[in-house]
């Protein structure tokens, strides 16, 4: 994984964390709610990050496969 791909993990995590903190309204268990919001933010960030990296790898794999297939066709045509 490249260094600039970390943004796919961090940005959703920060957004979910800020929105989660904004929704905490009850002063009953603020530390518990803060920890739950943090955990949910980490989980969402991890899921979004791995989805982005997976999609990027899938696109790269498909492009490589298409290039390999095109080269194979050119070789077959030139043998005739």
As a whole number of angstroms, the distance between CA 21 and CA 37 comes to: 7
pLDDT of residue 76: 59
**Residue range 14-62, pLDDT digits in tens:** 999 999 888 887 777 888 888 889 999 999 999 999 999 999 999 999 9
CB 40 within 8 A of CB 19: no
As a whole number of angstroms, the distance between CA 58 and CA 52 comes to: 10
**What does the domain layout of the chain look like in residue ranges?**
1-78
Whether this prediction's pTM lies above 0.75 is answered by no
């Amino acid at each position: 994984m490249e260094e600039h791909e970390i943004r796919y993990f961090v940005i959703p995590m920060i957004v979910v964390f800020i929105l989660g903190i904004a929704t905490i309204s009850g002063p009953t268990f603020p530390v518990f709610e803060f920890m739950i919001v943090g955990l949910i933010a980490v989980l969402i960030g991890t899921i979004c990050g791995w989805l982005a990296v997976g999609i990027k790898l899938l696109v790269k794999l498909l492009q490589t496969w298409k290039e390999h297939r095109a080269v194979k066709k050119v070789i077959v045509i030139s043998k005739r």
